[in-house]
Structure 1
Amino acid sequence: MHDIVLIGLNHKTASVDVRECIAFTPDETERALVTLRNQPAISESVLFSTCNRIELLMTAAESQAAINAAKQFFSEFKNVPLSAFESALYHYTGDEAVRHTFQVAASLDSMVVGEPQILGQMKEAYRQATLEKTSGVILNKLLHRTFFVAKKVRTQTGIGDHAVSISYAAIELGKKIFGDLTGKRVMLIGAGEMAELAVEHLIRNRAGAITVANRTFARGVELAKRFSGEAIKFEEIPDTIKNVDIIISSTGATDYVLRKNQIKEAMKSRRNRSLFFIDIAVPRDIDPAINRISNAYVYDIDDLKDIVDENIEDRQREALKAQRIIDEAVIGFRKWYETLDVVPTIVSLRGKVEAMASQELKKTLGSLSHLSETDQRAIKRMTGALVNKILHDPTQFLKKNGCHGDKSVSLDLTRKLFNLEEDH
């Protein structure tokens, strides 16, 4: 019976420079899987590499041999001495390896608990392993179950509900202020990554027209085009302010981009309509003195951090519920895994065939009531002998590990062919 084994390092155990040395690009992952396929100590493998973790999930006849082989593989493939990263490695076997895999997919082991990207990255790693045929019966089942558990955690807990990124918190704040962002016109000052994330959240919340102002006009045009918005030049900002409801600023400027006198002027033509400024730049883009203008409200990154911290606490509470779902799933997977061993499968197979034979025998004898006791016993003996003869070859085949090859494949196929106590 093969063990499930996991070895890896992550943001908690290894610094970023160590992770960078061991990280695998998609091309390297492809080559790595081919190398692993030819490694005798490792039967199945899925290699998972992101900026925060590098993990190798395996099945092996002997777990310690697989761990040693994996360490050597990392060192040789990445051309890094083992001493440079060995102390950062963790490894799990059996239920603990299964539990860890579930936790990673459900984003309980992430830098930001509840972030959704991790699941997509794991699915991609699994897809590569299936293409290279390094994932077999056991890891296929484990990863399908993993994706199911991650989905269950996301739908049955609030682990991903609250804003834990600054850009997301900025939009949540806008929702609190307006009640609803539908149709609200937004100006983005700066077209970097923060602005991009903010636009994605705004679109999900059905915001209205989006205007992008960026010092490099071409970059502003590029971002605006992607989100069907409009790009303007920096000089046009004061004039455009008259027509927007929310301004989100995230430039790399060292001085204020918007000052009190500019806004005072722009507010005159707004007829008391509220204007909200969300400043996610460090140093700040928006003069805090704007807050003193009637109907103008400025929120900076510190206000947003308070929202994020509060929401991280909520996520930690939801993580406890998620843990319960995972514990149940580990028990469920263990039950399936145990069925891969020979005896339970043979017992299930014999039980099923005997039950069918017994049922048919009862039906037949019921319609042949004229038979003597001796004749009935003869038919019963014949039925028993038939069952034994039918089961003899499949039983021998399974006991001898399918004559050759991987026992788990034969057992899994037997359970599917005879539909033995299907695991739902």
Structure 2
Amino acid sequence: MQLLAVGLNHTTAPVSLREKVAFPADRLGHAVAAARAWFGRVGTVPANDEAAILSTCNRTELYAASQLSGGVNTAIDLTGHFLADYHKLPYGELRPYLYALPQDNAVRHAFRVASGLDSMVLGEPQILGQMKDAVRQAEAAGGLGTYLHQMFQRTFAVAKEVRSTTDIGAHSVSMAAAAVRLSQRIFDKISEQHVLFIGAGEMIELCATHFAAQNPKSLTIANRTLERGEALASRFNGRAICLAELPDQLSKFDIVVSCTASSLPIIGLGLVERAVKARRHKPMFMVDLAVPRDIEEEVSRLDDVFLYTVDDLGAAVQTGIESRQAAVAQAEAIIETRVQSFMHWMDSRTIVPVIQHLHESSEAMRTAELERARRLLAKGEDIDAVLEALSKGLTAKFLHGPQQALNNAQGDERARLAALLPQLFRTKR
């Protein structure tokens, strides 16, 4: 069985490419089913293939377990082609940005991702929840089998251990905090600014919490579903509007933070140009935390708009890393130990068919001898004689295979069998 993690993230690919391979949350189940079917095209049985997809603003990764006859390289190539085909991208455009991690490296990567060691913000906790959501959707789509199920259960256990026994997240600087700091470079006092949040998800909630602490002049939530926007706005004494109101309302806001699940930009260049004109060119600070992006890239060219993407904020949070190196080393040591434990479990799975065959063969022998003994007892044979025959018959059948193998072997093979058989038939005294 080949374990594999293939994907790209904030360290290997720019946001302009990451948004092209992002999977919408409501399509993850379909994508998992498509991945399993894709593996099935090369001769494996789809029911035996396992797949899970993790897609966030910083990464898109496909985890797979498959019995591909071509080995690891075939699995890597096939997975990369699936990502390209699903998103209608030339494979040559995508391949330079992909990492492909087989076997223990795939397990190690999953453990590091869940523990926050592979995040743009070192130690950030959001990724663990995102991975759990991805696994739940993969399981609902039938993508998890013995191997990925076990790997992810151990992944979550490792992440919990790392976070509870190290200081990996103690000094974490969040994207939300970075957004506040960057806005303060443009506006001296956030308390004098009007702030708009577009979306109502976990990231927007986090950002709203940080900005609300600065007591802005007003705080507004724009969301596709007004009721959900109102529920979030009420927590910060703000108000809510519908996304459809943005064309008329955008010019009223000094700070705009957007993070939705839209597959297309919801704020275009023309809309922002009109807003800037209505504001008489008063500066506007915009943060786009979505992947795919919510705000058209061309907006960044406007003189009076300061637009930051998720990658821009990532650069702003890479402070204080030196103070966390000891925690990182401790976390890596925990992960390495748990990786070796998982690989040992995987190795043990390879002998399961052999053990099952032994049990089946032994059961067949036992059943045959027991039936023979019952027939003898039914004829009135002496019980002690029947039991004696039963024990001798079982012993003879169990030893027949090893004795035959030893008699047929020659030279070094016979010597190896002669040394091995006493270990196999060792009994406790």
- Match for 2:127 among 96, 113, 118? 118
State the alpha-carbon separation in 2 of the partners of residues 310 and 16 from structure 1: 21
Partner residue, 2:235: 227
Partner residue, 2:355: 346
Partner residue, 2:324: 315
State the alpha-carbon separation in 2 of the partners of residues 197 and 340 from structure 1: 43
Partner residue, 1:59: 65
1:137-216 correspondence runs (5 A): 137-165=146-174, 168=177, 190-192=194-196, 197=206, 200=209, 213-214=217-218
Matched position secondary structure for 1:112: coil
Q: 1:227 to 1:379 in 2, by over 3 A?
A: farther
Q: Is the 8 A contact 1:211 1:224 kept in 2?
A: no
Q: Is the 8 A contact 2:50 2:64 kept in 1?
A: yes
Matched position secondary structure for 1:160: coil
Matched position secondary structure for 2:333: helix
Q: 1:14 to 1:387 in 2, by over 3 A?
A: farther
Q: Which runs of 5+ in 2 are unaligned?
A: 181-189, 198-202, 224-228, 240-253, 257-278, 284-304, 307-313, 363-383, 402-429
Partner residue, 1:127: 136
Q: 1:141 to 1:216 in 2, by over 3 A?
A: closer
State the alpha-carbon separation in 2 of the partners of residues 123 and 188 from structure 1: 39
1:67-146 correspondence runs (5 A): 67-146=76-155
Corresponding residue pairs, total: 285
Q: Is the 8 A contact 2:219 2:237 kept in 1?
A: no
State the alpha-carbon separation in 2 of the partners of residues 148 and 201 from structure 1: 30
- Match for 1:48 among 45, 51, 54? 54
What per-residue deviation string (whole Å, max 9, x for no partner) do you get for residues 33-68 of structure 1? 121222325711111111111111111223222222
Partner residue, 2:4: 5
Q: Is the 8 A contact 1:5 1:92 kept in 2?
A: yes
Q: CA deviation at 1:338?
A: 1.5
Q: Is the 8 A contact 2:8 2:61 kept in 1?
A: yes
State the alpha-carbon separation in 2 of the partners of residues 33 and 109 from structure 1: 23
What per-residue deviation string (whole Å, max 9, x for no partner) do you get for residues 287-319 of structure 1? xxxxxxxxxxxxxxxxxx9x9666433233311
Q: Which runs of 5+ in 1 are unaligned?
A: 172-185, 232-249, 256-281, 284-304, 354-374, 393-424
Q: 1:384 to 1:167 in 2, by over 3 A?
A: farther
Q: Is the 8 A contact 2:108 2:335 kept in 1?
A: yes
Q: What amino acid maps onto 1:19 in structure 2?
A: R
TM-score under structure 1 length normalisation = 0.55
Q: What amino acid maps onto 1:5 in structure 2?
A: L
Q: What amino acid maps onto 1:191 in structure 2?
A: V
Q: 1:388 to 1:157 in 2, by over 3 A?
A: farther
State the alpha-carbon separation in 2 of the partners of residues 383 and 202 from structure 1: 82
Q: Is the 8 A contact 1:164 1:312 kept in 2?
A: no
Q: CA deviation at 1:187?
A: 6.8
Q: 1:226 to 1:83 in 2, by over 3 A?
A: same
Q: Is the 8 A contact 1:7 1:57 kept in 2?
A: yes
Q: CA deviation at 1:199?
A: 6.0
Partner residue, 1:237: none
Q: CA deviation at 1:224?
A: 8.5
Q: Is the 8 A contact 2:135 2:152 kept in 1?
A: yes
State the alpha-carbon separation in 1 of the partners of residues 175 and 60 from structure 2: 26
What per-residue deviation string (whole Å, max 9, x for no partner) do you get for residues 269-298 of structure 1? xxxxxxxxxxxxx99xxxxxxxxxxxxxxx
Q: CA deviation at 1:343?
A: 6.1
Q: Is the 8 A contact 2:50 2:65 kept in 1?
A: yes
State the alpha-carbon separation in 2 of the partners of residues 187 and 44 from structure 1: 51
TM-score under structure 2 length normalisation = 0.55
Matched position secondary structure for 2:26: helix
